[in-house]
Amino acid sequence: MQENYMVGIYARLNRDDERAGESVSIENQKEMLSRYVREQGWTLYDYYCDDGVSGTTFDRPGLNRLVQDATDRKINLVLCKDLSRLGRDYIEAGKYTDFVFPSLGCRFIALNDGVDTLRKNNEMLVILKNVMNDLYARDTSSKIKAVKQSTFKSGKYVGCYAPLGYRKSAEDKHILEIDPVTAPVVRRIFDLRLQGYGFRKIALQLNAEKVPSPRSFYYMAEGRENLRGETPYWNDVTVKTILRNEVYLGHMVRNKTGTVSYKNHKQVSKPESEWIRVEHTHEPLISQETWDAVQRMDNHPARGRSGKSGTIALFGGLLRCMDCGSSMRYLRDYRTRKSGESEYRAYACNRYMSGGKNACSSHYINQKVLVQVVLTDIRCKALWAQNSRESLREQLLAREHTASMEKTRTLQAELNAIGKRLPELDRLIQAAYEDKVLGRIPESVCINLLNQYEAERREKQERSRELTEQLAASRENEQSVDAWLDMMQDYAQLEELDRPTLVRLIQKIEISERYTVDGHEERDIHIYYNFVGYTEE
């Protein structure tokens, strides 16, 4: 007598299957399988469908519900079109057909493949089918990856949403064009960063000004509501992502993330060596100079602290005491002076302000005086760059060469030593394995030696990368000098000093204590410029 089966029909479709046409559609699968259930005289309990889900993952809503109903004994037969509908990972698919369903007392049939777990003579067929489905998934993944790589290398934009500040061209969705509505927001973010604002403070400022978030701008452009419940507010992560996105330079940098494998779809970051970078694919939103200045801000001392008014002092974070090396504290005095001045701004050694004269001396300097000194120095350097560019260039390069020669020799010597030690470590690791296999040393000693060798090898490899980067940086002196000369010659007529200009041009300013020469008070002020450091005329 035939058993009365309660059947659960399982159907699955992903985007790759859609290319095959109507034959694998969800509706087609349901119609074919339900007809087979009627012909066999069984009872259809329910349909379990996963639409648009990859077969390499087994965490699917429809499949999970089917297994739960089988566990609850609501169904005792699972029916699907073929084994590839169940999944394309041969290990996981085999686990379901060989263990999960049988342990639940549930029969499994893959109709088109002739697979039926009630019959024990087709086990090899099931294994072969699962392996073939797995290989198909691997091959499909490789082809999709190759297409994406080709698209990235051509410089085309691929993404659901255009980056803030841009929109997709109406003629070609793979080309970006500047969006006049959102571009000013991006430029303002870069400007605030140049003024010394941190990522979080920029986000707070934008929220205070009620500037819509990137996703809010997207829904506004689409003319529909945000039904997904995404936050309409800015945060530090969003700001940081924008400030580090080379798309605003007009470049396309892709392939920065990917999946672990064709079976594990978890997104992971890729090493920079695998990134695909194509320059000048669209119109830039900001200049190279602005980009470089903003990137320097990550390690720039001029972050500064905002006062009660929420603003950062003009020289905040830039000044250093020449004697003790501590930062200079910003001072404000609102008492009206004889000159009629109602607000007096100055700076003093922070260590002195905190610990008194036993810690350091005041190094007190008026902001107006400092502004005039710095303005004069910038103008002089700019005129020097304009009128005597080649002689100044040679002088700077000679100084940099002399300063870096010894450092370069030291770095190269250490790198050479590491280059010799790494092959030695490889030989030692191999010898330890061989000694263990041949019984020359106990397993515990072998493990201890291997741990030591591996730890040293990782340390040497990391140090080798650091040294290589430092050597590469030392070889970029010529480019740095040229960049500084190009930047400086634009400031010969500078009339007013503002914070963005200071941060763009200057790394730090050292202030000495006042001293007396021939009855006159003098002091030293050393201005260190970005790219070239301290430069005497």
Residues 6+ apart with CB under 8 A from 532: 396, 400, 480, 481, 484
At a CB cut-off of 8 Å and minimum separation 6, what does 288 contact? 249
Report the C-alpha gap between 89 and 85 in whole angstroms.
Answer: 11
Instruction: State the average pLDDT for the chain.
Output: 80
CB neighbourhood size of 473 (10 A): 12
pLDDT of residue 266: 61
Q: At what angle do helices 288-296 and 183-194 cross, to 10 degrees?
A: 50
Q: How far apart are CA 352 and CA 364, in angstroms?
A: 10
pLDDT of residue 427: 85
**Sequence-distant (≥ 6) Cβ neighbours of residue 428 within 8 angstroms:** 449, 453
**Structure confidence at residue 400 (pLDDT):** 67
Q: State residue 484's pLDDT score.
A: 80
DSSP structural state of residue 333: E
Give the pair of three-digit tokens for residue 228.
Answer: 């997904």
For the beta carbon of residue 61, count every other beta carbon within 10 angstroms: 12
Helix (H, G, I), strand (E, B) or coil at 132: helix
Are 166 and 178 in contact by the 8 Å Cβ rule? The answer is: yes
157 dihedral zone (left: phi>0; alpha: psi -120 to 50; beta): beta
Q: Which two tokens stand for residue 480?
A: 């740095």
Characterize the bridge pairing of strands 6-13 and 77-80: parallel
Which candidate, 230, 234, 236, places its Cα nearest to that of 213?
Answer: 234
Q: Is 168 left (phi over 0), alpha (psi -120 to 50) or beta?
A: beta
Distance CA 207, CA 372 (A): 36
Alpha-carbon torsion, ordered 96, 100, 103, 109, to 10 deg: -40
The DSSP code sequence of 63-108 is HHHHHHHHHTTS-SEEEESSHHHH-S-HHHHHHIIIIIHHHTT-EE
Edge-to-edge strands, sheet with 77-80? 43-51, 6-13, 77-80, 107-110, 115-116
How many contiguous H segments (helices) and E segments (strands) does the chain have? 18, 20
DSSP assignment letter at 291: H
pLDDT at 314: 85
pLDDT for 365 equals 92
Give yes or no for a contact between 415 and 468, defined as CB atoms under 8 angstroms apart: yes
pTM given for the model: 0.48
Burial of 439 (0-12, 13-18, 19+ CB in 10 A): exposed
Q: Which residues contact 325 (CB under 8 A, 6 or more apart)?
A: none
- Please state, in angstroms and rounded to a whole number, the distance separating the CA atoms of residues 108 and 10: 11
Place of tokens 């010969």: 492
- Cα 355 to Cα 179, 307, 326, 531: the distances in Å are 53, 22, 12, 34
DSSP secondary structure string for all residues of 370-418: HHHHHHHHHHHHHHHHHHSHHHHHHHHHHHHHHHHHHHHHHHHHHHHHH
Q: CA–CA separation, 434 vs 423, rounded Å?
A: 17
Of 313, 163, 157, 159, give the one whose Cα is nearest residue 243.
163
pLDDT at res. 22: 40
Q: Which residues does the chain have with pLDDT short of 50?
A: 1, 18-23, 260-263
| pLDDT in the model for residue 334 | 61
Q: Which class for 489: exposed (0-12), middle (13-18), buried (19 or more C-beta within 10 A)?
A: middle
Of 246, 227, 244, which Cα lies nearest the Cα of 236? 244
Residue 113 and residue 134: Cα distance in Å, rounded? 15
